[in-house]
Chains A and B, each alone.
Chain A
Amino acid sequence: MQELSMHILDIVQNSLAAGATQVEIRIRENLAEDILMIEVQDNGRGIPQEVLYRVMDPFFTSRTTREIGLGLSLLKEATERSGGCLKVCSEEGRGTRVMARFQLDHFDRAPLGDMGETVGVIISGNPALDLFYEHQVDGQIYVLDTRGMRNILGPINLDDPLVLDFVRQDIQMGLKKIGAATFPKVMEVLR
């Protein structure tokens, strides 16, 4: 997968498959420490202790359509390729938290990609989901949350095309405003 935002969409699909009704995506860019943290937390059914240590192994999946599970192992590879690591915490019946750490300015750190499309696609395919997205760059912060959106929109469904356009544009502008890094700086120089 070429973009971190594609990985995020994929990790959220795991949450949805686990029956989550709430998903929180938190991205933090710490420029001084050169760290990019991506966290996805859900209130799904969680992962049993006895299999938790195997979830990043491609040969573990609870899917029945094929014998390999790629999502977490691909993300793990993406973190490690760029000087970071992946951690998964989970409690059965409570939920799961996936924490991916990258070196922000590493040559092999994948670009963030289109977060607007990722969040837009999640919302329009799951209009009843409580989704919270927060993106921080040092002190600056951008937030989008579907509960707040529902309060304002009243009877209008979140999968309305106008809402989807809003989500994509709001995220694009919001991330620009806080100066979110799309590509690692070393790559910007070459582009």
Chain B
Amino acid sequence: MNVEELKRIREKSQKEMDLRSGEKAIKLVVGMATCGIAAGARPVMAAIKDELARQNAKNVSVTQSGCAGFCEQEPLVDVFRPGETKITYGKVNPDKARKIVVEHILEGRVVNEFVFAQDK
């Protein structure tokens, strides 16, 4: 582990700390059971984190969940936005994930073509 590099990150990141420590209002959850991982959940999660960083989105948390029982639809990504119903995207790949981040997370428009389920 490169300790010097970590120290540099500390310096760099502390300048932006105030911005990042805010409330994480939007929640994304990626299915990470065997069915999800085998279908490609790992690169999807990495793409989501990367796109959020690129877009400088600070108020979004990304976590993992188990199997929801719809294995053939994996990778599944749930989006929770405050005051809105939960949206579940199915068969997500890294490109779709980036589109979901830009259109749904940042611009607030559901990407209907990728939606697998929507809470009523």
For residue A19, CB closer than 8 A to chain B, the reply is no
For residue A91, CB closer than 8 A to chain B, the reply is no
Contact A143 B1 (CB under 8 A): yes
Roughly how many angstroms separate A121 CA and B37 CA in the complex, as a whole number? 11
How far apart are A110's CB and chain B's nearest CB, in angstroms? Answer: 13
For residue B12, CB closer than 8 A to chain A, the reply is yes
Contact-size category for B: 35 or more
Contact A148 B32 (CB under 8 A): no
User: Chain A residues with Cβ under 8 A from B49's Cβ?
Assistant: 120, 124, 161, 164
With A13-B32, A117-B43, A156-B17 in contact, is A149–B1 under 8 Å at CB? yes
Provide the A134-152 mask, 1 if CB < 8 A to any CB of B, else 0.
0000000011110011001
Residue among B3, B30, B42, B43 making CB contact with A152, cutoff 8 Å? B3
Enumerate A124-176 residues with CB–CB distance to B below 8 Å: 124-126, 142-145, 148-149, 152-157, 159-164, 166, 170, 173-174
User: Chain B residues with Cβ under 8 A from A126's Cβ?
Assistant: 63-64
User: Chain B residues with Cβ under 8 A from A166's Cβ?
Assistant: 2, 5-6, 9
Scoring B52, B66, B71 by chain A CB atoms within 10 A of each residue's CB, the highest score goes to B66
With A1-B38, A155-B14 in contact, is A117–B46 under 8 Å at CB? yes
User: Chain A residues with Cβ under 8 A from B17's Cβ?
Assistant: 155-156
Roughly how many angstroms separate A117 CA and B42 CA in the complex, as a whole number? 7
Residue among A13, A124, A145 making CB contact with B66, cutoff 8 Å? A13
For residue A74, CB closer than 8 A to chain B, the reply is yes
How far apart are A5's CB and chain B's nearest CB, in angstroms? Answer: 8
For residue B25, CB closer than 8 A to chain A, the reply is no
User: Chain A residues with Cβ under 8 A from B45's Cβ?
Assistant: 121, 124-125
Q: B residues touching A (Cβ–Cβ < 8 Å)?
A: 1-3, 5-7, 9-10, 12-14, 17, 20, 30, 32-35, 37-38, 42-43, 45-46, 49-50, 52-53, 61-64, 66-69, 71
Q: A residues touching B (Cβ–Cβ < 8 Å)?
A: 1, 6, 9-10, 13, 16-17, 63, 65-66, 69-71, 74, 117-118, 120-121, 124-126, 142-145, 148-149, 152-157, 159-164, 166, 170, 173-174
Closest 8 CB pairs of A and B: A161-B53, A65-B69, A125-B64, A70-B34, A71-B34, A152-B6, A65-B67, A144-B1
